[in-house]
Structure 1
Amino acid sequence: MSGQFLYGANIFANGIRQHYLRYGGKGTPVVLVPGITSPAITWGFVAERLAENHDVYVLDVRGRGLSSTGPDLDYGLDSMASDVVHFAEALKLNAPALLGHSMGARIAIRASNMKPAAFSRLVLVDPPVSGPGRRPYPSKLPWYVDSIRLSLKGIDAEGMKAFCPTWTEEQLKLRAEWLHTCYEPAIVTAFEDFHKDDIFPDLPKLSVPAMLMVAGRGGVIEQADIDEALALNPAIEIARVENAGHMIPWDDFDGFFAALGDFLSR
C-alpha cells in the first residue's frame, strides 16, 4: 500500500460486514466493485490512479476478501447489489459513481435500478451478457474452482501463472496471496447466475449516465450485444479497449484510462 492509499476499514451494512479500501479522499466519490474472484486489494493499482482525482472506495464483495462469508449468506445478484446500495448509505456518500468490472458491472446495474437516486453514473467494464437463451460466458467454471482449491492449500506466483499466463509477477503474487479468500460456493453461485439472470432487461431502466467499456479481445461482449444494449438504452456510451482481454486494466492499463476519459468527472 502506498501513494493514494488511505486506509482499510469495515462497516456493517445490509446485515453483513463489508470491508473496503479507501484511496485519495478528495473529489467525486467512486465505489469500485470488482469481479467474481477479485478481492479489493487486487484493484489497488487502478484505485491509485483513480484517486488522483476521486475519492475511491474499493469493495470486497460478500464471499471475497475480508467481507462476510460462509454458508449462511445469499450470493445472488440482488443481494450483492443491495450490499452496494446499503454500503453507500451507511457511509453517507453523496451520489457516488459506480465502477464495476465483470460481475461487479452487473452488480452496479442492478444496484442503480434498486435505488436510482443513490448513484450519479455507471462505468460498466465488460460485464457478462450471458443469460437464458444466450451464448454462454466464455470462461468455464473449473478455471475458477480449480485455482481456488489450489490456493486454499497454498499456491505461489509460478503456480498461478498456469491460470493467468499474461499477468506480471506482481499481479500473480497478489492473486496467489488473496485468492483463498474467495469462498467457492459464492463463486459458483455468481457464475451460474451469469447464465440464469439476464441483465439486458435492466438496461432500459437505467436513469443515470452509463458507459459500457468493451474489451476488444475479451470475447465477452460482441457487436450484437452492443447493438442490443443500444437498442434498449440509446444513451449508453460505448468505449472500446481494442488490445485488452477481459481483465482490461491488467492487459492495457493506459488503454483503460484512455477509454474512461473524463466520464467520472462530467
Structure 2
Amino acid sequence: MTTATDLFIDGPAGRLSVRTKGLETKPAHVVILVQGANLSGQLGYDFGFDGRTDYSFMEALVARGYGAVTFSIRGYRDSELRGHPHGVQTTQAIEDTAAVIDWVIAQGFVRPHLLGWSWGGRIVGRYAETRGDRIGRLVLLDPAIGGGNIVPFPEKDEWWANTAAYFRDRLERDFMEAAAHEALATQAEAHEPRSPNGIRVENEEGSIAAVADRITVPTLMLYGFAAGMQNYMQGGSGRAEFFERLATNDKALVIVPDGGDYGHLQNARHRMWRVIADFLDAGSLHG
C-alpha cells in the first residue's frame, strides 16, 4: 500500500486537511479528487478495511502512474470552519478546491486533472466554467449537476449526523460486498461523525447548476447505472442533454452496471477506475 501523506494547507477560511499519494515519485500527472456532500475526500477516495486496499481509488490511480490528491472541504473531517455550517455551500467549496489546485500547481504539477463525485461534480463543473485553463481533464463522477428539483430541508439542523445506521440504509447493499458495506458505515460514524448542512440549505433554496456550454476542457461523465434516483441528483437538464452541450469535442458519457451513487466504492469500482484512468491517459497521448 502506498504511504499517504496527510498535511494542512492554508485555505481561504482556515486550514484545509489534505491527503496525497504518489507525489514523492514526481509523476507526470496528478489527479485532484473532490468529495461529495457527506464524506470527506479522505474516506470517499482512500477507503480500506482489514488490510484491503482494493477499495482505494487513490491506490488505483497511483498504480496507473498518477499522483493523487484529495482533501476535506471546510468543516468536514479535520478542516477548519470559521462561521456557520449553513455557510458551507458550493461557492465556498469552489474556493477551497481552487486553493488545493493552486497548492498542487505550486508543487510543480502543472494543469492537474480534476474529478468530482456527486456534489463534487457540481463543484468541479462550476470551477471549470471559468478556470479551465488551470486544469487538464475533467471527470464528473455521478455528478449532482445542480438546478432542477428543490429538495426540502425543514429541520434546518446545523450539522448532518453521519451515523452508521444512516449509511447502512443509504449504501445500496445489492452493489457492495457486506464487509465493505459495514466497514464504510462504521468508519464514517467513527471518523466523520458530522458534516455541515450548508449543501442541504442550498438544495432547498435552489442551487446554481453547472453550465455545460461554458466547459471547454476534455470531460468524462461517468455513472453507475442506478445512480441519480434521488431528488438531489435531478439537475436542471438530463445527462444526455448536458453531455451534448459540453463545449468540447473531447468528451465521453459512460454508464457502467452494478453500481449506484457510490459506484466507485461498490462492485463497479474497478470498471469505473479503468474508464477514468483510460480517459486521463488519452490526455497524455494527445500531449
Q: TM-score range by the shorter chain?
A: 0.7 to 0.9
Q: Distance in 2 between matches of 1:232 and 1:101?
A: 20
Pick from 226, 246, 251 the counterpart of residue 217 of structure 1. 226
* Deviation at residue 261 of structure 1 after TM alignment: 4.1
Matched to 1:38, the amino acid is L
What corresponds to 1:50 in structure 2? 61
Matched to 1:197, the amino acid is I
Matched to 1:9, the amino acid is L
* Alignment gaps of 5+ in structure 2: 47-55, 283-287
Matched to 1:49, the amino acid is A
Matched, 1:17 2:15: yes
What corresponds to 2:128 in structure 1? 112
Q: Distance in 1 between matches of 2:135 and 2:243?
A: 21
What corresponds to 1:79 in structure 2? 92
Q: Distance in 1 between matches of 2:67 and 2:38?
A: 24
Tell me, what secondary structure is at the counterpart of 1:38? coil
What corresponds to 1:175 in structure 2? 188
What corresponds to 2:285 in structure 1? none
Matched to 2:200, the amino acid is V
* Alignment gaps of 5+ in structure 1: none
TM-score (norm. length: structure 2): 0.76
Percent sequence identity over aligned pairs: 17
What corresponds to 1:242 in structure 2? 257
Q: What is the alpha-carbon root mean square deviation over aligned residues?
A: 2.9
Correspondence list, 1:1-266, <5 A: 3-25=1-23, 26=25, 27=27, 28-42=29-43, 43-44=45-46, 45-52=56-63, 53-72=65-84, 74-91=87-104, 92=106, 93-131=109-147, 134-135=148-149, 148-149=160-161, 151=162, 155=163, 157=164, 160-164=167-171, 166=173, 168-184=181-197, 186-192=198-204, 195-199=206-210, 202-218=211-227, 219=229, 220=233, 225-233=238-246, 235=249, 236-251=251-266, 252-266=268-282
Matched to 2:57, the amino acid is V
Q: Distance in 2 between matches of 1:158 and 1:75?
A: 24
Tell me, what secondary structure is at the counterpart of 2:169? coil
Runs of 4+ in 1 over 3 A off after TM superposition: 140-143, 145-149, 157-160, 162-165, 189-193
Task: List per-residue Cα deviations over 1:48-90 (Å, max 9, x = no partner).
Answer: 1112221111110122111122535742322211221222213
* Deviation at residue 190 of structure 1 after TM alignment: 4.7
The alignment covers a number of residue pairs equal to 250
* Deviation at residue 23 of structure 1 after TM alignment: 1.1
